[in-house]
Amino acid sequence: MKYSLLDSIESPKDLKALTLEDLEILSQEIRDFVLNSVSKTGGHLASNLGVVELTIALHYVFNSPHDKLIWDVGHQSYIHKILTGRKYKFDTLRQFGGLSGFPKRKESNHDIFETGHSSTSISAALGIARARDLQAHDNYHVIAVIGDGALTGGMAFEALNDAGHSKTNLIVILNDNEMSISHNVGALAGHLSKIRASSEYNWIKRGTQNLLDKLPRIGQPIAKGMELVKRGFKSLVVHGMIFEEMGFKYLGPIDGHKISSLINVLGQATKMEGPVLIHVITQKGKGYEFAEDNPEFFHGVPPFTMKTGKARKKNVPTFSTTFGNKLVELARNDEKVVAISAAMLESTGLMKFKEIFPHRIFDVGIAEQHAVTMAAGLAVNGLKPYVAIYSTFLQRAYDQILHDVCLQNLPVRFVIDRAGLVGQDGETHQGVFDINYLSHIPNMTIFAPKDTDELRDIMDYTIDHNGPVAIRYPKGYTDLSLISSYPHKGDSEFNPYNWEILINGTDCSLLSFGKMLEIAIKASKLLLQKGISCQVINARCIKPLDELTLKTLSQCQLNWITLEDNVLSGGFGSAINNYAISNNLDVHILNLGIPDNFVPQGRVEELFELVSLDANSVAQRILSFLNFNKENVYVHNAKTKT
């Protein structure tokens, strides 16, 4: 598809020659381009459709990369990438080896700071601005673009507080679309709603100042006198201007889809001293009816049909939906069951729970630390909180898990979604560290169900558990159809602490769990074709280890292979190694897992191949291990290989 203006834009400099009318046409062409591209690749659609005019205005006024643009979270950076010479790569968006869905410094010098998690942009921007000030020869603008959803994260307020106190020249763009992923919640969201409704205050303020500026000699003295009543007037009209109280000059609210207004206010901000906050009102999904009506679904969407807005892939019962449905069942039978989400009700399967038990679910916004400690408070008072958070986001609350939950041995249930390799969101979202940062904490119990049936059983079993519990599972679902039959107990005999044998074998034992059982089963089938008989064990309880099974195993099987979708150092394999060393076992151990590096974006299947955890690679590595291949061997008392 050809675009009359977009095709001529190779860098932000090309925008400078365009008229306002041209920029309006360009904004529509960009919307069409993004919609067409993301419908094929999948990606973050609604947030990017909402910042088209804002991004055009930023690059029209400022001079990237000399001026520094930092995008909070970063999933709204597609327009920025298009305007900085990367539109020709958009057919590779979020694909293996292709264009990242987030800012990446190695991708372009226009990407100043890498983001992916929320609420970091103001801190990073303040650091960059202070570095500029310490190096007197540097002179450039620093601009942080942050959504109102990200302001629900406490780190953003820490940065605002510091920046306002510092008086450093810094521009913060508050992109206010009333959404993070789920609808925004909390006092700040309410405050911004009042500001959005208070155009009278801003009109009066600007008009009065313009009038006084035109009065010779007496204008400025009057302005200083009026400053004495300014606070009371602001409080009367807009219920307090929190940002000005924090030390920022506040401009707004501004229509985020009117390019002329955006260019004007951005130009004003460049002339101001000290920190400035520009409040911009946008609509998530702007220009595409389906995304406007359902911005939560189109936040991060798989490939879809543009005419219908429907996803192309089939709907299959997932771990997330299974968790949500099971929690509703538990809550019906136990009034102490409550749920907590950090701005991801739909993604973690909790929408049904919200509909049925609206007073027993707490969406705290993008505030994982608060979510965990609040859960501890609920548990102290006898409730049974379930905290549903992605693996990559739960790591933001590590200290709260350790100090506020585990130290007091409180019965908080952490439901860890998107554990393991998640695919196309890349390094910032791979959930491959949760076993490491949880397993070394005293009192923590960790389960990893092999399928949705086992997830339900584990939830039944742990509803009255007296300490912290973590249940981790992957995005989507697991496919164990290669097993003709395997033991599954849905009755009172089920005990998730006990591992189970899925496939019998004599030459080696594969110890795995969750998603990786798919790989273990496929690898065992490949090895059987070569005459190797593998026992496949579902090690569904990662902590504590099933020591009885391990003791029995050590008496009849000398070759152990651990397989995990988690980084090796400090993971499940490390726990098995420690057990073998501590008990002076004469066994040979091969640890297979994520190597010591960050895993990039790509389809999950591609990433398994990249880290040599696909079935073919695993089978070959096991075969080499059994043939006593000496390459990369680390020998100790337990004769362990990695």
- Residue 352 belongs to a domain with what CATH number? 3.40.50.970
Q: From its phi and psi, is residue 304 left (phi > 0), alpha (psi between -120 and 50) or beta? A: beta
Among 235, 262, 284, where does a domain finish?
284
Among 257, 284, 311, where does a domain finish?
284
Q: Are residues 514 and 451 in the same domain?
A: no
Stronger pLDDT, 472 or 216, i.e. the higher one: 472
Q: Cα(310)–Cα(324) distance, rounded to whole angstroms?
A: 23
For residue 580, pLDDT over 50 is answered with yes
For residue 385, pLDDT over 80 is answered with yes
Residue 420: inside a domain, yes or no? yes
Q: Are residues 506 and 415 in the same domain?
A: no
Q: Are residues 465 and 516 in the same domain?
A: no
Q: Are residues 189 and 279 in the same domain?
A: yes
Residue 511: inside a domain, yes or no? yes
Predicted local distance difference test score (pLDDT) of residue 346:
92
Q: Are residues 202 and 336 in the same domain?
A: no
Q: Cα(275)–Cα(256) distance, rounded to whole angstroms?
A: 20
Q: Are residues 334 and 423 in the same domain?
A: yes
Predicted local distance difference test score (pLDDT) of residue 199:
47
Q: Confidence band (pLDDT; 50, 70, 90) for 309? A: confident
Residue 6: inside a domain, yes or no? no
Among 435, 457, 472, where does a domain finish?
472
Say what the pTM is.
0.84
Residue 577: inside a domain, yes or no? yes
Triad 499, 500, 506: Cα angle to 5°: 110
Distance of CA 626 to the CA centre of its chain: 40
Tell me how crowded residue 609 is: count the other CB atoms within 10 A of its CB.
16
Closest CA to 52 of 83, 88, 22: 83
Q: Are residues 603 and 512 in the same domain?
A: yes
Q: What are the C-alpha distances in Å from 199 to residues 205, 210, 239, 313, 403?
A: 10, 17, 13, 44, 45
In order, the DSSP letters of 521-583 are HHHHHHHHTTT--EEEEE--EEES--HHHHHHHHTT--EEEEEEEEESTTSHHHHHHHHHHHT
Q: Cα(113)–Cα(98) distance, rounded to whole angstroms?
A: 19
In 28-156, the DSSP E strands lie at 68-71, 142-147
Largest CA distance in the chain: 97
What is the domain range of residue 333?
319-472
For residue 46, pLDDT over 60 is answered with yes
For residue 371, pLDDT over 70 is answered with yes
Give the residue numbers marked as catalytic.
Answer: 284, 368, 396
Q: Are residues 124 and 270 in the same domain?
A: yes
- Average pLDDT of the residues in 323-342: 97
Tell me how crowded residue 166 is: count the other CB atoms within 10 A of its CB.
16
Predicted local distance difference test score (pLDDT) of residue 278:
95
Helix (H, G, I), strand (E, B) or coil at 4: coil
Residue 611: inside a domain, yes or no? yes
Number of domains in the chain: 3
CATH number of the domain where residue 541 is located:
3.40.50.920
H/E stretch holding 33 reads helix 20-41
Place of tokens 């680390």: 634
For residue 233, pLDDT over 80 is answered with no
Q: Are residues 510 and 455 in the same domain?
A: no
Q: Are residues 504 and 613 in the same domain?
A: yes
Residue 492: inside a domain, yes or no? no
Q: Are residues 505 and 465 in the same domain?
A: no
Predicted local distance difference test score (pLDDT) of residue 581:
96
Q: Are residues 532 and 462 in the same domain?
A: no
Whole-number average pLDDT of the chain: 88
Residue 83: inside a domain, yes or no? no
Residues in the chain, overall count: 642
Residue 88: inside a domain, yes or no? no
